[in-house]
Amino acid sequence: MSPRRAAAAIAFLYLFLGYIWISFSDRFLLTIAAESSYLTELQTYKGWTYVTITAGLLYLLAYRALQRERNLSERDGLTLLLNRHMFERELASEIQYAHDNQQNLSVIMLNIDGFKQINSHVSLEAGDKFLIAVAGELREACHQQALIARFGNDEFAIALPDSTWPDDVLPLLQQIQRRIAHIRISESPQLSFTASAGLALYPRDGSAASELIDAADLALEQARQTERGSYKLYNAELSAIMSNKARLLFDLKSAIEKRQLTVVYQPQFCVSENRMTGLEVLVRWNHPERGIIPPCDFIPLAEQNGLICGITDFVMQQAISELTEYGLLYRDVQRVSFNVSAADFNGNESCDRFLSNLALLPGDWSVIELELTESAALLNLEGVKQVLEKLTEKGVQVSLDDFGTGYSSLNTLRLLPIKEVKIDQSFVKDIVQNKQDAKLVKTILAMAQALHLRVVAEGVETHAQANYLMKAGCEEFQGYLYARPMPINHLVTFINNLKQQQRAQS
């Protein structure tokens, strides 16, 4: 109801009650005391009764209105936890009390890992239910003196007065993480979530509310980048690391916008036939001041900050352009593999992005292969499936990278249009010495053969590894033993030398 209608309804109710009171109270008094000398005194009592009742109603209305206004200004509307403003204000009071009484205090920042899956793939209502359930678990786990707040979306804050690390705080944090991991939503009961946490301690990490919150937030960010469901305690070194990452992120955004990244190509081989079967395209970043930045440093940073789609688009467009310009595509290169992320399949525009990038191809799209890891596929299985089905209709092939490192590889193969699996280099590295790795590789090869899937072993660096894989039945290889990643001009030379070698052998 709008404020105008609510006010009109209250005014109408007041007028109605006043009319009823005036109309019937006088008649009642005249009926019972018309000739009484106490009539004037009774009229006075009647007036005071009316004033008392209306004052009570006015108090009730004012109280409810002011309470609602206070809740809106102090509480999160969904969970009824404190909002950020009130949390900071209450935390400042607790810090002052801790200072006066020489007590410790702890601040915990919590973030639900992967929460966006609920809103994007189930419903917003389900997401709200989950957040309300998290708030309930926090209330039950924490003692009455704790301050609990929701800062926004899936981020929560907890302040624990008179608490010491780790004796008081760590058991509580672990209990909270277990409780959140057990929350289920009825619309999608198979989904479960972890909570990452960052912690800051008073007086060690700050003497003001904002300082402690910022410190805990930095620790939370580091925890999220390290491992899902983990926690980090703030320290000065951590602050320096996060500051460095912030600068690196700023530079990465600039490099993507200005197209300062480059691509390199690593050939894949069928050794028994001595021929190149395809290329994997990899991205490189040569920072103007820091030099070469390893992909393991900037790719996770891009994924965590919504930049990976820009990198994917650049790599696809640049590689197709270079391979076409040098006349390699379709003639010498029959398959080009691109690494894609789970984020590449988020949103309604994801399919259009791939179609736009691949529209640059001068010929058949079957030359293109998209490589995605199993863990990435499972983050957004339905979205990945829908996009890949549309692309495979146009001839695009799909490869499952890091095969065997996930928890449900067979299910992923069943649900997605996979044509190739790549044996992870972690299994190849010790395949000669490690019997467990050798058994696993043989199992993967047998399964791939039964399902008519192509297999590529990556990370092959020694002849012993290659010989073992060939005897086990693997035909395609990728690794430093055969070729390192190289820029386009070196690739042209490499292919020409390979042709000469083949002609000499024939």
Instruction: Give the pLDDT confidence of 17-53 residue by residue, as tens digits.
Output: 777 766 666 666 666 665 555 656 666 666 677 778 7
Indicate the domain borders of the chain: 3-74, 84-234, 259-505
Q: Which fold has domain 259-505?
A: TIM Barrel (3.20.20)
Q: What is the DSSP letter of 453?
A: -
> Could you give the percent of the chain with pLDDT greater than 90?
48
Q: Is the pLDDT of residue 251 over 50?
A: yes
Q: Is the pLDDT of residue 72 over 60?
A: no
Rounded Cα gap, residues 335 and 314, in angstroms: 18
User: What pLDDT is recorded for position 407?
Assistant: 47
- Residue 54: is it exposed, middle or buried by C-beta count within 10 angstroms (0-12/13-18/19+)? middle
Q: What is the DSSP letter of 294?
A: P
74-85 mean pLDDT: 84
DSSP per residue, 315-346? HHHHHHHHHHHTT-BTTTB--EEEE--GGGG-
65-75 mean pLDDT: 59
Assigned CATH for 84-234: 3.30.70.270
Q: Which residue has better confidence, 351 or 63?
A: 351
User: What pLDDT is recorded for position 324?
Assistant: 96
Phi-psi category of 153—alpha, beta or left, where left has phi over 0 and alpha has psi -120 to 50? left
Q: Is the pLDDT of residue 7 over 80?
A: no
493-497 mean pLDDT: 95
Among the ranges 183-192, 261-270, 495-504, which has the highest mean pLDDT value? 261-270
Within 397-451, residue ranges assigned H as helices are 409-415, 425-429, 435-450
Partners of residue 284 on adjacent β-strands: 262
84-90 mean pLDDT: 90
User: What pLDDT is recorded for position 347?
Assistant: 73
